[in-house]
A and B are shown apart, each in its own frame.
Chain A
Amino acid sequence: MNKPLSVFVLLGYTAYAASAQDARQIMTEVQNRTQSKSEHYEGTLEVINSSQKISKKRWAYDRLGVYGNSKSELRFMAPPDVKGVALLVINHPDRASDQWMWIPAEERDRRIALQDRSSRFFGTDFSFEDLEERDIDRYDFKLLGDDKLDDAVCWKIESRPKESKTSQYTSSLLWVRKDRYFLVRTDNFAKDRLVRQISYRDVESIEGVWTALTVAVVDSTRNSRTRLTLAKVKYNLPIKSGDFTRENFRQ
């Protein structure tokens, strides 16, 4: 290889490596700033379909562990038709999560198969995969530059799952606020087609943890949206690991 070209290639590689490193560093910091040993909140879920029909539900959410290596349980509290239905998610750092659903009327739990994770979560615009926590080590990141979102300056980062076969998304675009290292929006793509857009709003610092109190999902293919509003958010509660088992889950 001739000298100018090799220098050029080396500079290009260095710039790429630097940008990748920066993107990863950014995401690491994002993850660190939302870390907590445990979490609890009560959520109100509104699903608005393409006919503008609104359905409302409430759930209680509990979580234990670090990001990507945690256990969480989500249990519906209202309306009465769905009270008691629950989802248990065991997140692993190195592989896909294990998920089970509990239906009180059937008195049994059922496993959500890996292949089913792309399906919608109980009629909302979240998919089962969206409820997983995936450690940043399972993604490749690339800094695309700066962007402005809702008057906030953000980094715009592209992420791609390293294990493409375990995700319904081939790539995602992430907007991270520079001032807070907080993820404010995710656009998820399946083969260049926008599938879902998740926005994190009404960000507050609760017990030192930046928290989005409103999460809005728009499903581009279905023309429907879901809004999750968090309330009574608490962190680092004394929750036991034993509370997140299938036996305990069956209430």
Chain B
Amino acid sequence: MMLLRLISWPYVRKHRLRSLLTTVGIVLGVAIFAGMHAVGDSVLSALSVTIDRIAGKTQLQVTAGEAGFPEDVLERVQSVPVVAAAAPVIEAVVQSGIKQEGNLLIVGVDMTGDRSLRQYDLEDGDQDIVDDPLVFLAQPYSLIVTRDFVRRTGLASGGRFTMQTMEGEREFTIRGVMRPGGLSAAFGGNLAVMDIYAAQKVFGRGRRFDRIDIGLKEDCPLDKGQAALQQALGPGFQVDVPAVRGRQFDSLLHVYSFMVNLTSVFALIVGLFIIYNTFAVAVTERRAEIGTLRALGTTRSQVIRLFLLESAMVGLVGSTLGVVFGSLIANALAGYIGDVMLAHYGIALGASRVSLSLSLIVTAILLGTATSMFAAVIPARNAARIDPVRALQRGWYQVLSADENRTRQRAAVLFAALAVGCLVLGRSRAIFYLGYGCFVLGAVLVAPTLCMWLSRVLRPVLTVLRPVEGALAADSLVQAPRRTSATIAALMLSTGLVVSLGGISRGVYGSVVDWIDSFLNSDLLVLASENGTNRSFHFPDTMTPALASLGGVADVQRMRSNKVSVKGASILMVAIDMDKAAEHGSGRVVAGAVKQMYQQAAAGKGVIISENCGMLQNIGMGDIIEIPSPSGLLRLPVVGIVTDYLNQSGSMFVDYAAIYLRYWRDPTVDIYKVYAKQGASAEELKQRVQARFSQHRRLFVGLNREVKARVMNNTRQWLGMSYIQIAVAMLVAVLGIANTLLVSVTDRRREFATLRAIGALRNNVRLTVWIESATIAFIGVILGFAFGAIDLRYELEMMRRDYAGLTLDYAFPLRLALILAGTIICAAWVSSLAASEASVRNSPIEALAYE
């Protein structure tokens, strides 16, 4: 501690700006890690809270996929001897229609029997929360809302507001208010309860329930109850505890988690490099100090401990600040991520502030501190090895020793060879990721060598541009690799990450464009919800002939989608009119004979799966898929594989009439694809559809180009998370280069003073520093592009194997790369301003006297 106080603290105080920049490196890494994980955790936590609160005392839930099941299943459940209470439920998410209130989660329950399972927060059990239960039942547009909702909206019991229903816009009346806590806490308080049969009418559910919540008799163990119910209902139903629903949502966030983890890891690695660089420079700058300490009897281990302790302090301070900024990032991102969840997964989270859990805070601080200490290990070891005599000599330390260089190069070659070997041989996931790790390590180890080589290559070019300043800048890089190589490595990694993620984004975008042209090929789309992903609303199939008989309509294709569990994964089952799909085309065929596969699927003798479904679930042509349905377990062979991007976990297509109507007995439709007659105007047809149906029904009609634009907008929104990486890359540039240049300027005070003494102007000196910073940025960007080009290959493979099952085309994001290059070089210039001013601030005489 005394060494820390006497040796480290004065150094930190002397180099405040540099210390700050070093700390910011860890702040950045920890902030991104904590912030993005906090948002992800909040998403799942919000879902879990909602699921738990709504479940109440429910012990088991009966479901049959997303489509629900007919009402008569309730009597079957109630007749099982172990069942004490069985309450049917419908859930739907709707726009509240109230400004700034967003979505409302409506829970439809049978109030006559639901009280045994759910707390509606009756105090003492002696006071109604519904003013008049009979009126509540008699008037279908009645709601019980939360106290929180009432407080925010200013509405009271008896108050009214409008919402969109399947019958069009309707006015709802608040007939009761729940007290805080319990059910009220679900969905951030944006929850309302209505009668289940009214909910069926309002949301077009026909005579179906989404699920049945069950309370078992007192003496019945959970597993026995589960087994009894499963046996009574058969394999087409799932009987699970409520928490299972939350775990299903977990899998939906798989791809988001992939991006978060990747960004977080790279942000921390970048922070690691910045700290390494700082400590490496600090060791060389303080070599005299260290040599003196060693000469006075300080042991090597004490020197190591000193530097590790310093790095731990930096890490602790940086991590703590990082956690604070992480919280700000999380709240800034929360709204954006919430919109993405709703647009892409149909999951509405409810308004809530994001906060970091204690475990996440502790993990982030430990991670940041550990990263900082890890970054200081090599410099600390080097410091401990300093010969006290040599420590007092100048100049030699900046050159990478030939031995050190060779060791690095050999290690780099070894890791590169391992990476290639793993790529060639690696079928297993472990070997693939081992190869990836070797590639990254190899790239980092070879970066200093490449940096020196590129500096030498650029020297003649810089000399041509500015003979003196260019030469000085290039020489600084060549002669002091320790100062710059870590910064360039950090730049290389962050730029490479942006390039590879940009490549993935471009690949996804391009693939979606191709897919959308083949899949959304009708003139109009008629949707039950605005974005097509909210499955709360459905059209009745009785609308189909009415739509088909409209003037100008050549054909109508039905589409009904809902999630089912296949091999433990949540797969999107899409029921379509297969004969029409065969006629009009639907998706690029990857495997299977086109005509035959549609014929078989239309006859109900097979299922067509998406490419990513096959990849992720390991299903191929001819394999039998078991699909649970309310009428029993379906076993269908795979008759075709198509490219499809409807669902990240995969999708499968079945015939609407032969399979869906027959086994799900659910005559509802989510989307109609409407094909216009030859010569008919799509705009006029749209108006005709709206005029015919919108008076009595909720529907959204979009022209082909409008719907495509919305889909592409949603895709861009999802991919917009890659902008976070670009911001990270820019920050790295600013931090790393500023740090490096400050050190460079300090080291070269005598040099600059000599230049000034022989007639160089301040601007000449400034220009030298600026050129040096631009060159560092340029080298970092070039290496980053090369790293990113290879890294992209790996990440496309990761996407294909493990995350989305999608085969994306390799496309180097040239436009993004050029924008990034320009941005980083400009950022580098900005970051050099402080250093360039520092270089000209002192008088030449003082600087020449500097030792």
Which A residues are within 8 Å of any B CB, using their own CB? 49-51, 55, 57, 76, 81-82, 84-85, 101, 103-106, 108, 110-116, 119-120, 122-123, 128, 221-224
Chain A's nearest CB lies how many Å from the CB of B686?
A: 32
* B359 in contact (CB, < 8 A): no
Chain A's nearest CB lies how many Å from the CB of B60?
A: 15
* B689 in contact (CB, < 8 A): no
Q: Are A82 and B134 in contact (CB under 8 A)?
A: yes
* A104 surroundings in chain B (CB, below 8 A): 138
Report how far A21 CA is from B724 CA in the complex, Å.
86
The residue from B138, B140, B201 contacting A82, defined by CB atoms under 8 A apart: B138
Given known A-B contacts A49-B128, A106-B201, A108-B197, A119 and B112 have beta carbons under 8 A apart = yes
* B262 in contact (CB, < 8 A): no
Per-position binary interface string of chain B over residues 50-93, scored 1 when its CB falls under 8 Å from any chain A CB and 0 otherwise: 00000000000000000000000011001000011110000000
* A114 surroundings in chain B (CB, below 8 A): 78
Q: Which of B83, B113, B130 has the most CB of A within 10 A?
A: B113
Apart from the given pairs A85-B137, A105-B140, A119-B112, 4 other A-B contacts in the complex at a CB distance below 8 Å: A81-B135, A85-B138, A113-B78, A122-B134
* A119 surroundings in chain B (CB, below 8 A): 112-113, 115
Q: Name the 4 nearest CB pairs between A and B, nearest first.
A: A116-B113, A123-B133, A122-B134, A82-B138
Report how far A113 CA is from B78 CA in the complex, Å.
8
Total residues of chain B contacting the partner, CB 8 A: 28
The residue from A106, A115, A122 contacting B198, defined by CB atoms under 8 A apart: A106
* A116 surroundings in chain B (CB, below 8 A): 110, 112-113
Q: Are A81 and B126 in contact (CB under 8 A)?
A: no
Given known A-B contacts A55-B132, A57-B134, A122-B137, A115 and B78 have beta carbons under 8 A apart = yes
Report how far A128 CA is from B134 CA in the complex, Å.
13
Chain B, Cβ-Cβ closest to A119: B112
* B139 in contact (CB, < 8 A): yes
Chain B, Cβ-Cβ closest to A111: B75
Given known A-B contacts A57-B134, A82-B134, A122-B134, A51 and B127 have beta carbons under 8 A apart = yes
The residue from A81, A111, A221 contacting B139, defined by CB atoms under 8 A apart: A81
* B545 surroundings in chain A (CB, below 8 A): none
Q: Are B126 and A115 in contact (CB under 8 A)?
A: no
Chain A's nearest CB lies how many Å from the CB of B644?
A: 38
* B130 surroundings in chain A (CB, below 8 A): 123
Chain A, Cβ-Cβ closest to B215: A115
Q: Are A128 and B125 in contact (CB under 8 A)?
A: no
* B125 surroundings in chain A (CB, below 8 A): 221-222
Report how far A213 CA is from B252 CA in the complex, Å.
63
* A128 surroundings in chain B (CB, below 8 A): 112
Chain B, Cβ-Cβ closest to A165: B217
Report how far A44 CA is from B110 CA in the complex, Å.
26
Which B residues are within 8 Å of any A CB, using their own CB? 74-75, 78, 83-86, 110, 112-113, 115-116, 125-128, 130, 132-135, 137-140, 197-198, 201
Q: Are B126 and A222 in contact (CB under 8 A)?
A: yes
Chain A, Cβ-Cβ closest to B85: A115
Q: Are A115 and B132 in contact (CB under 8 A)?
A: no
* B138 surroundings in chain A (CB, below 8 A): 76, 81-82, 84-85, 103-105
* A110 surroundings in chain B (CB, below 8 A): 110, 197
Q: Are A122 and B133 in contact (CB under 8 A)?
A: yes
Report how far A120 CA is from B232 CA in the complex, Å.
30
Q: Are A123 and B84 in contact (CB under 8 A)?
A: no
Q: Are A113 and B86 in contact (CB under 8 A)?
A: yes
Report how far A50 CA is from B123 CA in the complex, Å.
12
Q: Are B134 and A123 in contact (CB under 8 A)?
A: yes
What are 20 of the A-B contact pairs (CB < 8 Å)? A49-B127, A55-B132, A81-B135, A81-B138, A82-B134, A85-B134, A85-B137, A101-B137, A104-B138, A105-B140, A111-B75, A112-B112, A113-B86, A113-B113, A115-B83, A115-B85, A115-B86, A119-B112, A123-B130, A123-B134
Chain A, Cβ-Cβ closest to B122: A222
* B132 surroundings in chain A (CB, below 8 A): 55, 81, 123
Chain B's nearest CB lies how many Å from the CB of A236?
A: 30
Q: Are B112 and A76 in contact (CB under 8 A)?
A: no
Report how far A101 CA is from B134 CA in the complex, Å.
11
* B128 surroundings in chain A (CB, below 8 A): 49, 123
* B140 surroundings in chain A (CB, below 8 A): 103, 105-106
* B115 surroundings in chain A (CB, below 8 A): 119
Report how far A154 CA is from B485 CA in the complex, Å.
104
* A221 surroundings in chain B (CB, below 8 A): 125-126
Chain A's nearest CB lies how many Å from the CB of B133?
A: 4
Report how far A122 CA is from B136 CA in the complex, Å.
9
Chain A's nearest CB lies how many Å from the CB of B542?
A: 15
Q: Are B134 and A76 in contact (CB under 8 A)?
A: yes
Report how far A122 CA is from B139 CA in the complex, Å.
13
Chain A's nearest CB lies how many Å from the CB of B351?
A: 31
Report how far A115 CA is from B115 CA in the complex, Å.
11
* B86 surroundings in chain A (CB, below 8 A): 113, 115
* A113 surroundings in chain B (CB, below 8 A): 74, 78, 86, 112-113
* A55 surroundings in chain B (CB, below 8 A): 132
* A112 surroundings in chain B (CB, below 8 A): 112
* A85 surroundings in chain B (CB, below 8 A): 134, 137-138
* A123 surroundings in chain B (CB, below 8 A): 128, 130, 132-134
Report how far A174 CA is from B86 CA in the complex, Å.
33
Chain B's nearest CB lies how many Å from the CB of A8?
A: 39
Chain B, Cβ-Cβ closest to A47: B132
Report how far A120 CA is from B120 CA in the complex, Å.
15
* B113 surroundings in chain A (CB, below 8 A): 113, 115-116, 119
Report how far A46 CA is from B138 CA in the complex, Å.
18
* B116 surroundings in chain A (CB, below 8 A): 115
Report how far A111 CA is from B86 CA in the complex, Å.
13
Q: Are A103 and B135 in contact (CB under 8 A)?
A: no
Chain A, Cβ-Cβ closest to B78: A113
Report how far A84 CA is from B138 CA in the complex, Å.
9
Report how far A9 CA is from B203 CA in the complex, Å.
68
* A111 surroundings in chain B (CB, below 8 A): 75
Chain B, Cβ-Cβ closest to A45: B134
* B112 surroundings in chain A (CB, below 8 A): 101, 112-113, 116, 119, 128
Chain B's nearest CB lies how many Å from the CB of A213?
A: 23
Q: Are A224 and B126 in contact (CB under 8 A)?
A: yes
Chain A's nearest CB lies how many Å from the CB of B840?
A: 82
Report how far A49 CA is from B115 CA in the complex, Å.
19
Report how far A85 CA is from B85 CA in the complex, Å.
25
* B134 surroundings in chain A (CB, below 8 A): 57, 76, 82, 85, 122-123
Chain B's nearest CB lies how many Å from the CB of A240?
A: 27
* B127 surroundings in chain A (CB, below 8 A): 49-51, 222
